[in-house]
Amino acid sequence: MTIRIGNAPCSWGVEFANDPRNPAWQTVLKENAEAGYKGIELGPVGFMPEDPALLADGLAEHDLELIGGVVFRAFHDPNQWDDVMDGAVRTCKALTAHGAKHLVLIDSISERRAPTAGRAADAEQMDKAEWTAFRDRIATVAKLGAEEYGLTVGIHAHAAGFMDFEPELERLLNEVDESILKICFDTGHHSYAGFDPVAFMKKHIDRISYMHFKDVDPKIKTDVIAKSTGFYDACGQGIFCNLGDGDVDFPAVRQVLVDAGFEGWCTVEQDCDPTLDPDPVGDARLNREYLESIGFN
């Protein structure tokens, strides 16, 4: 079994390509390598250079492999379809240019869902027609990535979007063929949503193609759910803590992967506010050291 551990620009606070608070892409590559990682995600398309030669030089300089990339856009909003497809096509092109494998689809935060992040019983649900159109938009991009670009496509549940809670994720998996859509499983978002990450992994391990490692501070989670705190404000409060400091049972996560013979990348994603995390490279190093301490090499 070979499990490789990577990291992602969101651990440096990079959520949107044009955020003026972002560190330079060169800084992220350099610090990622300094923290001991051999792989990194693309981040939001446009953050790293879309000129393949330029990014290839940056990756080679730090002996890094590009793992995959995320389309974090409003799949829930039919009026944003052009934007979704723009992100999807550009991300697919960037990944294939560097031999990366994983295309991750995430429905971005919706104002309709933000106040009920972590509260499945209170969250607004789509009606049948809206759900069908939403599902079909996800399936369209999954088919594009899998069949036109040869990528492994995974759906990723995310707090405050319309693909957040376990029943929604399972409904989608039942309705979209596994040949085009697998699971990028995020341990932290599953915990934030109020469900058991390890139990879900045991049930669906055969469809999990890629992992995002994230941990959740249970005290902060309880507080932000009670106060209906927005997702980015929760990040600023430190809801996503260093691995091993929160409520995700990472030794059990590892055991599920080992028992299943999982091979490939698992990527650390410690979403944070880029202006409030004083030491992202230190956190990245601590997260890698923690994973090594429980048996990840």
CATH of the domain at 101: 3.20.20.150
Three-state DSSP class for residue 280: helix
Assess contact for 32 and 1: CB atoms under 8 A. no
CA dist 88 to 138, 149, 175, 205, 246, Å?
A: 11, 11, 21, 26, 33
The predicted pLDDT at position 277 comes to 65
Question: Measured on CA atoms in the order 93, 95, 98, 100, is the torsion positive or negative?
Answer: negative
Beta carbons of 251 and 257 less than 8 angstroms apart: no
Q: Which domain holds residue 212?
A: 3-293
Q: What is the pLDDT along the chain (297 residues), one digit of tens a residue?
A: 599 999 999 999 999 999 999 999 999 999 999 999 999 999 999 999 999 999 999 999 999 999 999 999 999 999 999 999 999 999 999 999 999 999 999 999 999 999 999 999 999 999 999 999 999 999 999 999 999 999 999 999 999 999 999 999 999 999 999 999 999 999 999 999 999 999 999 999 999 999 999 999 999 999 999 999 988 888 889 999 999 999 999 999 999 999 999 999 999 999 887 777 678 999 999 999 999 999 998
What is the dihedral angle through the alpha carbons of 172, 176, 178, 179, rounded to the nearest 10 degrees?
-150
Distance CA 263, CA 266 (A): 9
Paired sense of beta strands 68-73 and 102-107, if any = parallel
Split into its structural domains, the chain has a count of: 1
Nearest to 243 by CA among 166, 296, 207: 296
